Amino acid sequence: MSKNNLISPQPKLHKANLILFIVTALLAVINITYLAVRNDKTWTEITFRGLQYVAMLIILRLPYFMRLRMKIEVPWPLSVFIVIFCFSALVLGDGMDLYGRFWWWDKLLHAESGIMLSMIALWLIHIIMAENDKYIYLNRYFLSLFLVMFSLGVGACWEIIEFSYDSLMGTNTQQFMASTTGSIFTAEDVPLCGHDALVDTMGDLILDLIGAMIVAIYGFIRHDRLIERYNELLAA
């Protein structure tokens, strides 16, 4: 059985994704140009904004390339969730500086990321199951544990990336500054000290855990129906 038999194509979604890609690309060019001509932004900040937009554009087209090259169809609810999350984080969070304006914006996105990563883990399990032509029984306890561990593992890797990026680029993605929650800080900003400097990173991981637990509980409760559904599809 092919992977595409599990999840039907969504042509309207792909068209909407292409339109969003074009609109985002235009907004990125306009925003970067505006920052460059204002003369009150450093090249570090402009480069940082540019990298955020590039990451957003790559993520927007990733489902298309997965479908084209790997013959894998990303479920439309997951695809929409990823697009909304990335747009909120990269465009609104950094591009529109909502991280700096609202202290809770980063926390909201980390809770959402825990849910999103667990949904991705559940989807990966379904893809692996689709590659088998035999009846599969997956223990509900293992399934729930895997969803949580996957989300926490990716969340921890993300914190390592943020730490490395802050160290190399002089940014504040881990929000270790007391005077600003934005990703860019100035020489006048004051850093946190001691235990307070750990609050952001540990808070992010805790929110990743809470988001993952929501999906894990769903997977635990709906376990039998999920397994039955996919084994029925495999037998068809």
Which residue from 154, 149, 157 is spatially nearest to 213, judged by alpha carbons? 149
Give per-residue pLDDT as tens, 178-227: 887 777 777 788 888 888 888 888 998 999 899 889 888 888 887 777 66
Q: How far apart are CA 199 and CA 204, in angstroms?
A: 8
Which residue from 169, 155, 39 is spatially nearest to 94, judged by alpha carbons? 169
At residue 77, does pLDDT exceed 70? yes
Six-digit token string for 63: 């489902």
Give per-residue pLDDT as tens, 120-146: 888 887 777 666 555 556 778 888 888
DSSP annotation of 73 reads P
Using the Cα atoms of residue 60, residue 22, residue 70 and residue 77 in order, give the sign of their dihedral. Answer: positive
For the chain, the domains span 1-96, 99-236
Which residue intervals of the chain are DSSP H helices? Answer: 11-38, 43-69, 76-86, 98-101, 105-130, 140-169, 199-221, 223-235
- Cα atoms found within 13 Å of the Cα of residue 91, Cβ hemisphere only: 22
